[in-house]
Chains A and B, each alone.
Chain A
Amino acid sequence: MDGQFLQGTNLSRAFGGISAVAGVDITIARRDLLCVIGPNGAGKSTLVGLLSGAIVPGSGELYLDGERMTGRPMHAFCRRGVVRKFQGTNTFLTMTVRDNLMVAGLGVAAYRTTPMPDPDAVLEEVGLAGQAGELASHLPHGERQWLEIGMAMMCQPALLLLDEPAAGLSAKDAQRLVRLIHRLRERCAVLAIEHDLGFVQSLECETWVMHRGEVVRRGSYAEIADDEEIRRIYLGRGAIHAAH
């Protein structure tokens, strides 16, 4: 199992009788890039919650670097390198953009061998250098996405979990994000959840499809896109009938 960073077996979580994630096995290696797609309510965000420690699994086991992490708190996951960008955006709204990055980097600084990244360099990388002194609450949604990606980069991730990173981005910005993700991949593993299939396509990576809490397909985007069953899941039975 050399090179495996994260290992989850039979991860499950139910909310009030509804299985959000039902028996997912997942292994992520140090430089993997993985995209998870699926219709609303498929359990994608719950999966990210489980992997980041925000949600305690109902059953199943989770290991990071061989260390058992099942049931550990979220900050312990972050200290070991599992860093997450939330769905929608989640930043420190009352603080400036630069302070957001600084605080994000400071929390794990003691647990990393490398020094904390320079906030200004990260701001440059995500394209917010001009807004360093603005309050996060004054940023439009798209720029808050970039801010949160920057905050995640400040945490020096080993595994970056991106929950809908392209939501609210223009097509041009989405392509910029694709390039950034490919650059980040040289440093860490990335797992992205996305609805925007064009974005997933341009990531050119392994793609998983989730449906009703289970991973129903694993393969390249091209294989997934050609799959009749996947089309049915995404478009509903009626669309298939119409096509026949």
Chain B
Amino acid sequence: MSGKHAGCLRLWFSQPLLGPRDVSPLLMWSVAVAAMAVVPFFAGPWLLSTVRDALVMGILALSYDLLWGRAGVLTLGHTTFLGLGAYGFAIATVQFGQASLTGLAVGVLCAGAVAAAIGYFLLFAGARLHFFAIISLAVLIVAQQLAVSWQSITGGDTGILGIPGLSFGVGSHTFDMRGPRASWYSVAVVLLAATALIGLVCRSRYGKVLDAIATNEWRAKACGYHTSFHLLLVFVASAALAAIAGALMAACSGVVAPDVFSPLLATEVILWVAIGGRGRIGGPVIAAVVLTLLRQAVSSYSTDGWPLILGGLFLACVLFMPNGLRLHDLLEAARRAGRAVWIRPLVHRAGHAREER
């Protein structure tokens, strides 16, 4: 039976041959690798840490893209898992004095376990769409309350301060990831690796299966798929990745406070994926990074402005770009606009009409 399952896994995850469709993702990924490697040599420490924090949000966006974009599970409380990862890391390292890798594992396991428990009871009971979304929001609020009121462990409203950065030993050598450059690289490596992994999974047949479940779950059931199980799997994987983002966030900033469980950030995550394009992996990451940097720029002028802009963006996105912002569409629109400006339309059309006759 195990040999059979191995064969099945190979069938599901085997990669199709490289084709013309792989060129642009591969190119984009290579450019991203090069950019991430080179940026620290040019950017100052402040810029570097700002962009690094935005990249962490990119990981969060990636995890949500897997869940909502691929598998079609809408949640309003995705930051639950970001917060669990961050608190798990902080509590393990500060309160219990564990090594940072243990802290990371604790955060990821916490988030994974909570996701598995919630997901099992909701998904297997058939809760979908808005039902699932509302309950996930409730879970987020419960987590937030817990973080505020369980003072002895979570530090209450103040949160936990003085969280150590990432450092781990391989053999006798200790890798210290605390400096601005080192932490940049650790975040970049996680982001690029997660992007590549999710890209490969989505490229395989399993990505098609998730697409199918997202489009027409009932039909997928009739094809023999235990759809609830697959959705649970994706939910747990997504929660684990969000928790990694949370742990990185805690390690990079050194503090964690109850506002990581914020419904506003959970809404932003949805917006990143909606603008970047559902299920398009790279788009949501870029949208997350750009919008996070934009938020920081806006909030230096006014603290109230951001939710307003966010709401406006959301409306605009739903009304005008239901499929997200596409580079291809933008280029097309720009070309059309360019043509309209550069060529005198009336004369041109008249000329054409004469030729056609």
Q: Interface residues, chain A, CB within 8 Å of chain B? A: 52, 54, 73-75, 78-79, 83-84, 86, 90-95, 99-100, 102-104, 106-111, 116, 151, 155
Contact = CB atoms under 8 A, between A and B. Distances in A.
B222 A84 contact: yes
B205 interface: yes
B148 to A, nearest CB: 41
A231 B222 CA distance: 35
28 contacts: A73-B221, A75-B222, A75-B223, A78-B222, A78-B224, A79-B224, A86-B222, A90-B219, A91-B219, A92-B212, A93-B216, A95-B208, A100-B212, A102-B205, A103-B211, A103-B220, A104-B223, A106-B209, A106-B223, A107-B209, A107-B220, A107-B223, A107-B225, A108-B223, A109-B11, A110-B4, A110-B8, A155-B223
A111 B5 CA distance: 10
Nearest to B12: A106
A99 B222 contact: no
Kindly name the residue among A79, A92, A151 whose own CB sees the greatest number of chain B CB atoms within 10 A: A92
A218 to B, nearest CB: 27
B218 interface: yes
Contacts of A104: 223
B124 to A, nearest CB: 10
B68 to A, nearest CB: 15
Kindly name the residue among A78, A95, A106, A116 whose own CB sees the greatest number of chain B CB atoms within 10 A: A106
Nearest to A104: B223
Contacts of B12: 106
B335 interface: no
A155 B219 contact: no
A103 B222 CA distance: 11
Kindly name the residue among B4, B219, B224 whose own CB sees the greatest number of chain A CB atoms within 10 A: B224
A95 B215 contact: yes
A54 B222 contact: yes
B226 interface: yes
A92 B215 contact: yes
Contacts of B225: 75, 107
B221 A75 contact: yes
